[in-house]
Amino acid sequence: MLKMSLDKEEDITVIAEHLVEACQDFKYRLGNLVEYTKCRAGLLDTRLDTVQFKPFISRVVTECLSFAGEYGVRIDTRWADAVPETILSDEFRLAIVINNLLKSAITSTPAGGQVLLAIGSDTRESITLFLSNREKAPEAVISKHWYTPEQPTGEPSGRTHGLDQTVTEYLVEQIFGGKLVFKTRQDFGPIAEVSLPTNLHLLNDQ
């Protein structure tokens, strides 16, 4: 049990920081539940936001740092030069996708390891998110369950892996019209690669 005197500013600050982290986690848990409900109901509505892309990614990664710290895992973010400064997308849903993939990669990474999030853009119409936990594994064992690892019998995961996976695939493929690919590479081991349009408005008009 956490014991501290609430008449000290530093103690109140610590409690406030824990509350902020808990609220951020709850925000994404609730978002997954809402999106899962929409998925089952076949609702494909979108909200368009002008997203300052680099600050947005930095914020989502920062929100995952405490979670990564619990597993003793670091997050390394790398950018290609051609990544656009702004994109037109559904900001919160995009945050859900990145949060889900990051947390799932983190839980699949041994303590002391590192998750790589690389962001690139081959064309002006799309961006690519590349996630890897840099742990070598044979091709035969790589599947969509890389980022939804099985839990030992009798040990609850504390996270709804199946729901997260369903929501991530639904958002990437049905809402954003993108692609979500799971594969392995000799230099990076198991990876998840996500391709998304930079202008969701143009996609919706087609």
- pLDDT per residue over 14-66, tens digit each? 555 555 665 667 777 887 888 888 877 777 788 889 999 999 999 999 999 98
Ordered by where they begin, the domains of the chain are: 9-205 (3.30.565.10)
Backbone φ and ψ of 12, nearest 5°: -65, -40
pTM value?
A: 0.74
In this predicted structure, which of 92-96, 142-146, 192-196 has the lowest mean pLDDT? 142-146
How far apart (Å, rounded) are the C-alpha atoms in residues 185 and 187? 5
pLDDT at 152: 35
CA–CA separation, 26 vs 127, rounded Å?
28
In 43-197, at which residue ranges do the beta strands (DSSP E only) sit? 49-52, 74-79, 86-89, 114-123, 126-132, 179-185, 189-197
The strand ranges marked E within the chain are 49-52, 74-79, 86-89, 114-123, 126-132, 179-185, 189-197
Cβ-contact 105, 132 below 8 angstroms = yes
